[in-house]
């Protein structure tokens, strides 16, 4: 018996549209997205495209008109409503551009709700291009089939982050020196601390002793170890996010 082909086909392009979407609406798309659909994907009239707006969900649209530099899509049906995102924040000191982009991409794929670049004393990078981060997150969401984009917070100084830390949210502090002191592993800490959470990852140079003490004295802080090896900042961030998602996030069926 031949299997019924999936509809829309998995190969259908999937794009984020920065405006509220609704069934029956027609969208004229220009610029890079039009170039991608017209010249790269070479879509013909009638071809399916999946669109999501980070507001109401994901829609099935069809090509209803094609120009050289634009394309018109008409929304036919709602495929999925916007997903509920696990209540997990990733707070990370900015690192070199390409690796920070990589980190942002992985944070989106892994399901973080909020991405907080944190300025610390040893951070080698003290600026973050928000539009670049947003572009990276949108591409990652289009690829990993998220219907909700992570919120990107502005670059925040560590002391300001601690001062404005929200009540009731655990701040898992990834401390590479904890393993030596037989400190708590992250997975152990998660058996005791469920609910809204965040992980804090330092820069390549680590946190200063003063920063370490300030973080530890914060009532929401839970120092955790990610094992005996000194991980690169992006590795530590990805590992910690994966452990939280697997224990308390949406990887748990």
**Which parts of this chain interact with ligand SAM (CB under 6 A)?**
174-176, 179, 201-202, 204-207, 225-227, 229-233, 236
Kindly state the smallest distance separating residue 189's Cβ from ligand SAM, in Å: 11
Nearer to ligand SAM, 17 or 178 (CB): 178
Question: Do 119 and 253 touch, CB atoms closer than 8 A?
Answer: no
Nearer to ligand SAM, 85 or 92 (CB): 92
Nearer to ligand SAM, 166 or 227 (CB): 227
Nearer to ligand SAM, 136 or 225 (CB): 225
Give the H/E segment covering residue 62. strand 57-66
Kindly state the smallest distance separating residue 80's Cβ from ligand SAM, in Å: 35
Q: Rounded to 5 degrees, what angle do the CA atoms 222, 227, 231 make? A: 100
Among the residues of the chain, which ranges form H helices?
A: 31-35, 97-110, 130-144, 158-163, 186-192, 209-216, 233-248
Kindly state the smallest distance separating residue 193's Cβ from ligand SAM, in Å: 16
Nearer to ligand SAM, 141 or 201 (CB): 201
Question: Do 167 and 212 touch, CB atoms closer than 8 A?
Answer: no
Nearer to ligand SAM, 28 or 177 (CB): 177
Kindly state the smallest distance separating residue 207's Cβ from ligand SAM, in Å: 6
Q: Which residue is nearest to ligand SAM (CB)?
A: 202
- Nearest Cα residue to 34 out of 75, 70, 72: 70
| Residue that is written with structure tokens 């071809």 in the block | 47
Helix axes 233-248, 97-110, angle to 10 degrees: 10
Kindly state the smallest distance separating residue 202's Cβ from ligand SAM, in Å: 2
Q: Using CA atoms, how far apart are residues 84 and 17, in angstroms rounded to an integer?
A: 19
Phi/psi at 13 (nearest 5 deg)?
-60, 150
Nearer to ligand SAM, 100 or 207 (CB): 207
Kindly state the smallest distance separating residue 30's Cβ from ligand SAM, in Å: 42
Kindly state the smallest distance separating residue 130's Cβ from ligand SAM, in Å: 23
Q: Using CA atoms, how far apart are residues 226 and 176, in angstroms rounded to an integer?
A: 7
Q: Using CA atoms, how far apart are residues 155 and 153, in angstroms rounded to an integer?
A: 7
């Amino acid at each position: 018996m031949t299997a019924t082909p999936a509809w829309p086909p998995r190969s259908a392009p999937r794009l984020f549209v920065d405006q509220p979407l609704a069934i029956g609406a027609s969208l004229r798309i220009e610029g890079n997205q039009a170039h991608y659909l017209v010249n790269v994907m070479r879509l013909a009239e009638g071809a399916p495209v999946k669109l999501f707006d980070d507001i109401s969900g994901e829609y099935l649209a069809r090509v209803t008109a094609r120009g050289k530099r634009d394309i018109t899509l008409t929304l036919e049906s709602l495929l999925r409503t916007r997903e509920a995102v696990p209540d997990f924040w990733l707070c990370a000191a900015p690192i070199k551009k390409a690796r920070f982009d990589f980190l942002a991409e992985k944070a989106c794929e892994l399901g973080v709700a909020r991405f907080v670049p944190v300025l610390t004393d040893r951070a080698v990078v003290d600026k973050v291009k928000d539009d670049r981060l947003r572009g990276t997150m949108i591409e990652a969401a289009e690829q990993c089939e998220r219907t909700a984009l992570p919120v990107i917070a502005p670059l925040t100084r560590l002391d300001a982050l601690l001062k404005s830390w929200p009540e009731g949210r655990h701040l898992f502090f990834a401390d590479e020196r904890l393993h030596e002191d037989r400190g708590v592993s992250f997975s152990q800490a998660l058996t005791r601390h469920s609910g809204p959470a965040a992980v804090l990852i330092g820069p390549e140079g680590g946190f200063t002793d003063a920063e370490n003490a300030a973080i530890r004295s914060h009532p929401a802080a839970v120092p955790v170890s990610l094992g005996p090896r000194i991980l690169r900042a992006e590795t530590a961030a990805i590992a910690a996010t994966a452990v939280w998602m697997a224990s308390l996030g949406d990887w748990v069926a």
